Amino acid sequence: MLEVSYSLEVPAMLVQSARLHNALCKRVFRTAIEFHHEQRIPKHFQRAAHGKYGYAERSARYRVRKQKKYGSSLDLVRTGATMRRMTSERQLSIGGQASTSGLRATLRLRFPFPADRSTGGVRKDGRPKITAGQMVREIETIAPDEMAEIQKQIQDGYLVLVETDASARQRVKVT
């Protein structure tokens, strides 16, 4: 199981009620993480992902063998089962309190095979072996520009929710 936890900045409290603030933050966090799963996780299974997410180098021999056997030399893709499962299934949990200790959003994705975070050792030529643990780290990676987009999406989404929430009597006017 792949578990990605995000440490994101909670928006400044713009409502009088801590309970409403927590509810709005959780709603906007859920939206942002669902968007991340639907739009950004599939990018981890494309050719451009190798450089963007800093994937470990695969040898030329490995890529040629993989291309012949599976018809694809993309990182993290052999038969496509991992890609299909990770882009279609998710478990999302959000815990904590935005008004005090902060929120923690966790996105869980499952490999269609047992995966742990073991290092796997080193090859004869000195390069590290690519293991399931390395694949987990590659999928967990969030590029700095993506993290900035997530943070902006949360800030902007929170402002929209504060302006449009039905419990207007607890709102503070945002100027």
Q: What is the pLDDT of residues 11-37, one digit of tens each?
A: 788 887 888 888 888 999 999 999 999
- Measured from the Cβ of residue 24, the count of other Cβ atoms closer than 10 Å reads 24
122: tokens are: 């080193």
First to last CA, the chain: 44
Residue 66's pLDDT is what?
Answer: 86
Find out whether 147 and 153 touch, Cβ atoms under 8 Å.
Answer: no
Residues 6+ apart with CB under 8 A from 124: none
How are strands ordered across the β-sheet holding 91-97? Answer: 2-6, 102-109, 91-97
Residue 172's pLDDT is what?
Answer: 60
Give the integer Cα–Cα distance in Å for 51 and 67: 19
Find out whether 55 and 138 touch, Cβ atoms under 8 Å.
Answer: yes
67: tokens are: 């291309």
Residues of the chain short of pLDDT 70, as ranges, are 1-8, 114-129, 166-175
CA angle 157, 159, 163 (to 5 degrees): 115
Find out whether 73 and 67 touch, Cβ atoms under 8 Å.
Answer: yes
Identity (one letter) of the amino acid at 94?
A: I
Grouping H, G, I as helix, E, B as strand and the rest as coil, residue 20 is helix
Give the integer Cα–Cα distance in Å for 50 and 139: 11
CA angle 9, 15, 21 (to 5 degrees): 50
Residues 6+ apart with CB under 8 A from 48: none
Q: Could you tell me the residue ranges of all domains in the chain?
A: 2-170
Q: Would you give the DSSP letter of residue 42?
A: G
